[in-house]
Amino acid sequence: MFVKDAMTRTSIKYFENDYINEIAKQVLKDNVKGGLVYNIKDELSGYFTEHSLLDGLVQEKVMLSEILKKEIVFLDEHQELRKVNFSDHELMPVRNKYKRITGFLTKEQYLSSYLKVTQVELSQMDAIFNSAHNGILSIDKDGTITSINPAAEEMALTTKEKAIGKFLTDVVTNGGLLRVVRTGEGHSEKYKVGNRIYISHRTPIFDGDNLAGAVGVFQDISEINFMADELEAVKGILKEQETILNHSSDGICVTDVNANMIKSNQRFQEMFSEVQVSNQLPAVVKDLVVLVSETGEQQNVMETNKSDRKPLILSAMPIKNSHEKLERIVVNVKDVTELEALRCELNHTKPDSGNVQLSENSNHFIANSAEMTKLIETVSQVAKVDVTVLLNGESGVGKEEVAKLIQQSSPRSEKPFIKVNCGAIPESLIESELFGYEGGAFTGALKGGKAGLFEQANNGTLFLDEIGEVPLQLQVKLLRVLQEMEITRVGGTRPINIDVRIIAATNRNLQELVMEGTFREDLFYRLNVIPVSIPPLRKRVEDIPLLIESYSKIFSAKYQKHLHFSKSAIKVLVEYKWPGNVRELVNIMERIYVTSIGSEIQKEDVLNILGKKLDYQSNSNKAVVVNEVLPLKAAIDELERELIYKASLTERSYRGIARLLEVNPSTIVRKVKKLGGDL
């Protein structure tokens, strides 16, 4: 027990000019036994105790300074309690190891803790006394037995009750302890009782300067004889090992930690001529031994023998004593000439299996901007781990391309990649499209049932485009599929296990849809674990020239036309806002290639084509402007085409377009078909 365990820990300061009666009240209330008193310079000047307070009150003193006890001796928090010399102090201040005062120890605390420590020690002593294998017996100065432990009881064939109070030799045969009482000097003695041999250490007990008695500690040492026999056996084993050592086909030597050779076998001496000549360790072995003695760990090396050029495997092993200290090092040397020959042969027959370089997938992506480079880096990192990804970005930024990029650089690249445009499938069909159906599930269902897109994508990747368009009631099912990784066909009862990686994409702000209540929050959280957002083209204008160049190559090949873009033409393209992003850019490029007559593309050519588009986009006061008279039906067709086109600039899905135009998605599908799919 330490001072810190018994002390009162406090930083309360009393001052010399505090009033005794005030402090007495406080002390009584807080139930503390004293306090430390400081002077005007904030230095510790003394202490008071309950008693001195009382004394001060009785003598009608006023200030603490009048009753102050000034004998200050500091204790250290980490001092052992039993080593504290409390002497006449009533209270001692305590400091920590940084010499800061942390509290005090009162005499009462000291004594009660000391008592506790002593009691514990006493019971420990009792335990030792009672459980020791050695016999312990004590007598007083008259030779009367005062204590005897269970081991001694057993050896003397007696019990405590019978022995205590009796004269020593009435209980045991050997009276050597009496001599200790007589002479006041201890001694050791070896003696025999029957056929057992004992050794006894005898010590006098003093009470101050006066001899009070003696104690004897004795032990049966008959067992030691057996040990001698054992030693003999060990010698035999050593001899066996010697024989084995000398007949080993490996070279073996033993050294001490300083690489001095202690022993080596015949084979070792044959391998290294220097051993035979000068009894010196060969350099290669010495290096290894030094390494082992430095690291304390086993070391293996392959080396060529300097004398006969034969390949050797050397392993050096540390031998540690029971205190984990390195004592010896054993070196084993194996001649591997034959083994090496075999290995060479194997190497020659092994087919050349060079590293197959994986194709550089990011080539798909034409991008040089910092933002896109970082994105591609992230995407290729994400691709390799098998997790759901949510792609976010405006229409035309290339969400599908990113999805494909992920699929191609993923471990599932050889497996199916199925794309579903959730906005394009009529709401009533979407469930059976995704999960499939059993025969007879509904009118018009195939007889044998049909596997859904999830099943088709099994082991592969499912790209759910326009995820924001999935109807609410299906979102619940989708989340369940994601959590359980099993689906149930429409009309079916048996769940089917699937293993599909989901890549979802949307051009809408799902968080907003969640707030509107059209998208489930839990599904959003589940899909959004790894969100990847793809920047719009206007945020990465530095990529536009690169894109122009790349698509020029593609279209010049397609249309067998070589066009040159003037600087100002490119400038116009770079400055355009591209609401339709890369897709729009590709469309414009193609249009330029189709419509151009000359081979030089000037600013005006681009402006012409963009201008037509800008017309589409310009906000005239009226929503619809009629430029020429034409048959109503043709005009309606034209208007429908224009409306759908305009809607498609911001909405990629049929359902999205339908919502903007406030018609059924199937209407849009029908119209688009009728218009020949050409917007």
Partner 1 sequence: MNKLHSIVSPKTIAIVGASEKFHKNAGRVMVNLEKSNYSGHVYLVNPNYDNISGIPCYHSILHIEDDLDLVCVIVPADQIPGILRDCVKKSVKNVIILSSGFSEYGPEGARREEELREIIKDTDITIYGPNTPGFYKFVENWGISFSPRFEPRQFRKGSVGIISHGGSLGRAVLDANQRGLGFSYWFSPGNELGVKTNDCFEFLIDEPSTETIIIIAESISEEERFFRLLHEAYLKQKPVIFLPIGNFEISRKAVKYHLGSINENTIPWEIVNHPGLIKVESLNELVAAAWMFDTYGYGKGGRTAIFSWAGAASIYLADLCSKYGISLPPLSEELSETLKKITGVDKHFMNPLDITTVVYDDLKKLTASLLALCHSGEYDNVIIPFPFQVDYENEVLSLQIRALMEEEKCIFIPIFMSQGYRGENAIEILKETKKPYFFHESTAIKALGSYLAYTKVKIGEEVENEKVSKR
By CB under 8 A, tell whether 670 contacts partner 1: no
Quote the radius of gyration of the chain (alpha carbons, Å): 49
By CB under 8 A, tell whether 441 contacts partner 1: no
One-letter amino acid at 504 equals A
Residues 6+ apart with CB under 8 A from 288: 299, 301, 314, 316, 331
Stretch that binds partner 1, among 105-113, 170-178, 527-535, 539-547 (CB under 8 A): 527-535
Instruction: Build a one-symbol-per-residue string for 38-77: x at contacts with partner 1 by CB under 8 A, - elsewhere.
Output: ----------------------------------------
Run of H or E residues at 473? helix 472-484
| Strand partners of residue 91 | 106
By CB under 8 A, tell whether 226 contacts partner 1: no
Which residue in the set 115, 319, 529, 639 belongs to the binding site for partner 1 (CB under 8 A)?
529
Which residue in the set 1, 5, 13, 509 belongs to the binding site for partner 1 (CB under 8 A)?
13
Stretch that binds partner 1, among 161-169, 420-428, 518-526, 601-609 (CB under 8 A): 518-526
By CB under 8 A, tell whether 10 contacts partner 1: yes
By CB under 8 A, tell whether 531 contacts partner 1: yes
Neighbours of 74 (CB within 10 A): 13
Measured from the CB atom, the residue of 102 and 666 that comes closer to partner 1 is 102
Tell me the C-alpha distance between 436 and 432, whole Å: 5
* 614 and 572 Cβ atoms separated by less than 8 Å: no
Neighbours of 454 (CB within 10 A): 24
By CB under 8 A, tell whether 315 contacts partner 1: no
- Please report the beta strands in 537-614, taking only residues with DSSP state E, as ranges in sequence order: 564-565, 600-601
Q: Look up residue 288 and give its two tokens.
A: 């290894």
Q: What are phi and psi of 593, to 5 degrees?
A: -65, -40
Q: What are phi and psi of 451, to 5 degrees?
A: -75, 140
By CB under 8 A, tell whether 501 contacts partner 1: yes
Run of H or E residues at 300? strand 299-304
Classify residue 208 by its DSSP letter. Answer: T
CB of 467 to partner 1, least distance (A): 16
Which residue in the set 528, 587, 664, 666 belongs to the binding site for partner 1 (CB under 8 A)?
528
CB of 20 to partner 1, least distance (A): 21
CB of 388 to partner 1, least distance (A): 6
Binding-residue total with partner 1 (CB under 8 A): 31
By CB under 8 A, tell whether 522 contacts partner 1: yes
Tell me the C-alpha distance between 293 and 221, whole Å: 40
Stretch that binds partner 1, among 78-86, 155-163, 515-523, 592-600 (CB under 8 A): 515-523
CB of 537 to partner 1, least distance (A): 22
CB of 472 to partner 1, least distance (A): 10
CB of 349 to partner 1, least distance (A): 21
Does residue 466 sit in helix, strand or coil? coil
Which residue in the set 295, 483, 509, 608 belongs to the binding site for partner 1 (CB under 8 A)?
483
Measured from the CB atom, the residue of 11 and 347 that comes closer to partner 1 is 11
Beta pairing, strands 326-335 & 251-256? antiparallel
Measured from the CB atom, the residue of 248 and 300 that comes closer to partner 1 is 300
Residues 366-385 that bind partner 1 (CB under 8 A): 378, 381-382, 384-385
Does residue 531 sit in helix, strand or coil? strand
Q: What are phi and psi of 350, to 5 degrees?
A: -65, 130
Tell me the C-alpha distance between 428 and 551, whole Å: 39
By CB under 8 A, tell whether 474 contacts partner 1: no
By CB under 8 A, tell whether 96 contacts partner 1: yes
Which residue in the set 121, 270, 386, 638 belongs to the binding site for partner 1 (CB under 8 A)?
386
526-546 as b/e: b if 16+ CB within 10 A: bbbeeebebbbbeebeebbee
Which residue in the set 179, 364, 526, 539 belongs to the binding site for partner 1 (CB under 8 A)?
526
CB of 382 to partner 1, least distance (A): 6
CA 407 from centroid of its chain's CA atoms: 29
Tell me the C-alpha distance between 212 and 184, whole Å: 10
One-letter amino acid at 14 equals Y
Which residue in the set 54, 122, 125, 387 belongs to the binding site for partner 1 (CB under 8 A)?
387
By CB under 8 A, tell whether 22 contacts partner 1: no
Q: Look up residue 222 and give its two tokens.
A: 């008959």
Tell me the C-alpha distance between 177 and 137, whole Å: 9
CB of 501 to partner 1, least distance (A): 7
Dihedral of the alpha carbons of 106, 108, 110, 114, in degrees to the nearest 10: 180
CB of 498 to partner 1, least distance (A): 12
Dihedral of the alpha carbons of 507, 513, 514, 518, in degrees to the nearest 10: -120
CB of 531 to partner 1, least distance (A): 6
By CB under 8 A, tell whether 525 contacts partner 1: yes
Residues 605-634 that bind partner 1 (CB under 8 A): none
By CB under 8 A, tell whether 100 contacts partner 1: yes
By CB under 8 A, tell whether 78 contacts partner 1: no
Interacting residues with partner 1 (CB under 8 A): 9-13, 96, 98, 100, 102, 378, 381-382, 384-388, 482-483, 485, 501, 517, 521-522, 525-526, 528-532
